[in-house]
A and B are shown apart, each in its own frame.
Chain A
Amino acid sequence: MRKWQKWSSVAATAVMGVGLLAGCGSQSTSNSSTNASAQNLGTASNPVNLTVGIASSGPAETTLVNNQVKAFEKQYPNIHVTVKPFSGNELQDLQAELAAHTAPDIFYVDSSIAQQLESSGAIAPLDNYMKQDNFQTSAYETSLMKAFQWQGKQYGIPKDENSLALESNMTLLNKAGIQTPPKTWSEFETDAAKLKAKGIAPLAFPIDVARYYPFVLNFGGSYYDAASNKVTFTNSANDAGLNFFLKNEREGYLVNPSNLGGTWAGVPFAQGKVAMVAEGAWLIPSMQQTAPNMKYTITDFPTQNGKASNMVYTVAYEMAASSKNPAAAAKLLFFLTGNQAEQMTAKSGLAIPSYVPDQSVFLKSNPSYQAFVDGVKNGTAYQFGPSGNNFVNAINAATQAGVLKNLSPSAVLSQAQSTFQSQNQQ
């Protein structure tokens, strides 16, 4: 082989190799300074540029945030804000962006993933900025604020809220001789027996800790101790609540939506295949689009043992620790969760504002949402610590096995505990 042939082939393959290794990349995170001009709010000649990352539910929400940002820019003309919707999985996108220091200055964080991000150190605590701006925490429900605390520090301010209510197709309930939706879970069992006898599926309810956790709380149990960040599946006080769920599944009173041909409970409900669902306010726009003529009532999530436990789902705005303009970003964050912006949220009807004084505005034009607003008062945030993903996967897999294999509650909980431990040791 001629020399040039030899070396050209070496060069070609070496370029390929370098390309490959470059493709794999290296974890070279630079520690860029985050302390730049702590109070910089920009000037006319040198404005501050900020970015807001949103996991938008659709064009209407993107428009709402854009309008809120315009109102902010009017108040702070030297701060320019760009709104960027996340296009894929928000957590996945955020993790890469936070690692590369390209994350937006502030962004949506769902309560279920909040502590995972907060414990990583990539999110800036807000306590100092709250003090500086005299931020009023009393304007938000405690359960909502708690959802964005980690080790005593406040990392996020909730922008909206949601909880579970009971939605009932009264036509189907009346067919079984039931005049009003059940107010307690024991009333539900009686009604469910009547519905089942008429061949009507009583309640579409997924096999998901996000829905059935109130039963565990109502019987005095708890799967997670937030104070010590410990997972407590095997606490014997949990058996009774889980047993209530498993028993009703076995009876066919609670029916997994997939068994009724739906990816979530709203689908069979819209099709008139089930008498009741226990979902949040996200059900309403879905029903308006897919079953605009169906009449249904919304009542409080049923109580049990005299307790009105509920699940609270909420999203906050949080700030990247890598933000180059933290003071301006904090101003924007407080504005987007404060009175003026939340009033715009209330008027749009897209979400229940977390800012309590604005909730009356929202309820005035959306009175049917009252149960969802009330549910937050007795709610527990849907979050189970920084290993929340593993937690949910472990308990949901074990509960599904429990339903399919007819396992006892203690067997389900032991399985969940060992799965969680093995995942967390990896």
Chain B
Amino acid sequence: MQRRVSPAFYVVAILYSLVSLVPFVWSIYTSFKPTAGVYDTWVPLSKLTLQSYKYLLTSPQVSFMQWLLNSVIVAVIVTIGNLIVNTLAGYAFARFRFPAKGPLFMVFLAVMMIPGQVVLVPMYILLAHLGWINTYQGLTIPFLMSPFMIFLTRQFFLGMPNELEEAAKVDGLGPWGIFFKIFLPLSRPLIATQTIFTFQGNWNSFLWTSLLESSQNMYTLPVGLNNLYGQYNAYWNQVLAGVLLLTIPMIIIFFIFQRQFVQGISTSGIK
């Protein structure tokens, strides 16, 4: 049965959406302002310009396309790696029995509670010894798994009925077959959620990337764009133009996976 929603609800929701959109619209507007008028509250439409976007995309001092390529490479490798590793590990934790499973899982949970900043210097030293500074390996391999996502996957697979697995075994499927033919197709919302969160986390990653990459050619987009402003001398139109260009791929990813993502949230809510 469908409930009637009061018109007042729509009014409040629309107003709230408009208010939430103001900073985003303001950012777009500022990105089109000329540098000389960047602090002016209103710049007439006739004075708006594409100069910031042109500068970002064509200036030899800003290797925008190289930074974009680096961001795509890193985010795609890390996302695919996480999907493989987290899902398999979650499956193992949820459905197999093996020695020290409990303590190992506790280690995973404990690692989730360590703030990233605490391990920054030791991790940097480790990667420096491996010769992975200024390399794609350094930006990807340490991040090919996520304790939180393993935990999430484990919880998801724990909820799968035993009967499903038993029936698959009767039909002659081994553990890999059960995983790929039964569990994986049923976990599309989980995969979509992981993809969005992992891609977004790595797409926006700044702290680790800025520490590890000192060569301009290896910058990712957030690190490169950070160089557009100094402590006092910010080119806000260029910064915001860069931020908007940085946001577009994330919006695309969200729209591709949004159906599964929303489905994931709704199914977990009605269990």
Would you give the 0/1 interface string for B80-101, flagging 1 where the beta carbon is closer than 8 Å to chain A?
0000010011001100111111
Q: How far is the CA of A191 from the CA of B149 in the complex (A)?
A: 62
Q: How far is the CA of A26 from the CA of B123 in the complex (A)?
A: 7
Q: Does A99 contact B (CB under 8 A)?
A: yes
Would you give the 0/1 interface string for B140-182, flagging 1 where the beta carbon is closer than 8 Å to chain A?
0010110100100000000000000000000000110000000
A25→B40 contact, CB < 8 A: no
Of the candidates B36, B123, B224, the one whose C-beta lies within 8 Å of that of A289 is: B36
Q: Which residues of B contact A99 (CB under 8 A)?
A: 121, 124-125
Q: Which residues of A contact B100 (CB under 8 A)?
A: 10
Would you give the 0/1 interface string for A68-97, flagging 1 where the beta carbon is closer than 8 Å to chain B?
000000000000000011111100110111
Chain-B contact segment, one of A53-61, A142-150, A171-179: A53-61
B122→A27 contact, CB < 8 A: yes
Taking the closest CB of chain A, its distance from the CB of B178, in whole angstroms, is 11
Q: Does A360 contact B (CB under 8 A)?
A: no
A1→B235 contact, CB < 8 A: no
Q: Closest residue of chain A to B59, judged by CB?
A: A59
A26→B232 contact, CB < 8 A: no
Name the residue among A23, A59, A100, A101 with the largest chain B CB count within 10 angstroms: A23
Taking the closest CB of chain B, its distance from the CB of A323, in whole angstroms, is 16
Chain A interface helix/strand/loop/mixed: helix
Q: Does A283 contact B (CB under 8 A)?
A: yes
Q: How far is the CA of A58 from the CA of B120 in the complex (A)?
A: 27
In the complex, chain A residues 46-69 whose Cβ is within 8 Å of any chain B Cβ: 53, 56-59
B150→A16 contact, CB < 8 A: yes
Q: Does B214 contact A (CB under 8 A)?
A: yes
Q: Does B219 contact A (CB under 8 A)?
A: yes
Q: Does B251 contact A (CB under 8 A)?
A: no
Of the candidates A6, A25, A266, the one whose C-beta lies within 8 Å of that of B122 is: A25
Of the candidates B97, B114, B215, the one whose C-beta lies within 8 Å of that of A84 is: B215
Q: Does B197 contact A (CB under 8 A)?
A: no
Taking the closest CB of chain B, its distance from the CB of A278, in whole angstroms, is 14
A100→B142 contact, CB < 8 A: no
Q: Which residues of A contact B124 (CB under 8 A)?
A: 96-97, 99-100
Chain B interface helix/strand/loop/mixed: helix
Taking the closest CB of chain B, its distance from the CB of A29, in whole angstroms, is 6
A25→B123 contact, CB < 8 A: yes
Q: Does A292 contact B (CB under 8 A)?
A: yes
Q: How far is the CA of A29 from the CA of B120 in the complex (A)?
A: 14
Q: Closest residue of chain B to A53, judged by CB?
A: B214
Q: Which residues of B contact A368 (CB under 8 A)?
A: none
Q: Does A227 contact B (CB under 8 A)?
A: no
Q: Does A17 contact B (CB under 8 A)?
A: yes
With A13-B89, A25-B125, A96-B120 given, is the CB distance from A87 to B35 under 8 Å? no
Q: Does B2 contact A (CB under 8 A)?
A: no
Of the candidates B39, B93, B108, B215, the one whose C-beta lies within 8 Å of that of A291 is: B39
Would you give the 0/1 interface string for A239-273, flagging 1 where the beta carbon is closer than 8 Å to chain B?
00000000000000000000000001011001100
Taking the closest CB of chain B, its distance from the CB of A54, in whole angstroms, is 11
Q: Which residues of A contact B230 (CB under 8 A)?
A: 57-58
B121→A84 contact, CB < 8 A: no
Q: Closest residue of chain A to B38, judged by CB?
A: A290
B107→A20 contact, CB < 8 A: yes
Q: Which residues of A contact B147 (CB under 8 A)?
A: 20
B232→A16 contact, CB < 8 A: no
Q: Which residues of B contact A291 (CB under 8 A)?
A: 36, 39
With A10-B99, A24-B111, A88-B226 given, is the CB distance from A5 to B211 under 8 Å? no
Taking the closest CB of chain B, its distance from the CB of A7, in whole angstroms, is 8
A266→B36 contact, CB < 8 A: no
Of the candidates A5, A14, A53, the one whose C-beta lies within 8 Å of that of B96 is: A5
With A24-B119, A96-B120 given, is the CB distance from A17 to B107 under 8 Å? yes
Q: Does B207 contact A (CB under 8 A)?
A: yes
B128→A20 contact, CB < 8 A: no
With A5-B96, A282-B233 given, is the CB distance from A12 to B89 under 8 Å? yes
Q: Does A22 contact B (CB under 8 A)?
A: yes
Of the candidates A14, A102, A282, the one whose C-beta lies within 8 Å of that of B128 is: A102
With A12-B88, A13-B101, A56-B227 given, is the CB distance from A86 to B123 under 8 Å? no
Of the candidates B128, B207, B216, B224, the one whose C-beta lies within 8 Å of that of A100 is: B128
Q: Which residues of A contact B232 (CB under 8 A)?
A: 264, 266, 282-283, 286
B35→A24 contact, CB < 8 A: no
Of the candidates A1, A92, A270, the one whose C-beta lies within 8 Å of that of B97 is: A1
Q: Does A19 contact B (CB under 8 A)?
A: yes
Q: Which residues of B contact A285 (CB under 8 A)?
A: 233
Q: How far is the CA of A89 from the CA of B38 in the complex (A)?
A: 25
B125→A27 contact, CB < 8 A: yes
Q: How far is the CA of A348 from the CA of B126 in the complex (A)?
A: 41
Q: Which residues of B contact A289 (CB under 8 A)?
A: 35-36, 233, 235
B215→A13 contact, CB < 8 A: no
Q: How far is the CA of A408 from the CA of B125 in the complex (A)?
A: 47
Q: Closest residue of chain B to A282, judged by CB?
A: B232
Q: Does A9 contact B (CB under 8 A)?
A: yes
Q: Which residues of A contact B219 (CB under 8 A)?
A: 87
A24→B39 contact, CB < 8 A: no
Q: Which residues of A contact B142 (CB under 8 A)?
A: 22-23
A87→B123 contact, CB < 8 A: no
8 residue pairs bridging A and B, Cβ less than 8 Å apart: A24-B123, A28-B129, A87-B213, A88-B206, A89-B210, A99-B121, A100-B124, A289-B35
7 A-B pairs with least C-beta separation: A88-B210, A25-B122, A100-B128, A25-B126, A59-B61, A96-B124, A9-B96
Interface residues of B (CB under 8 A from A): 35-36, 38-40, 61, 85, 88-89, 92-93, 96-101, 104, 107-108, 111, 114, 119-126, 128-129, 133, 142, 144-145, 147, 150, 174-175, 206-207, 210-211, 213-216, 219, 223-224, 226-227, 230-233, 235
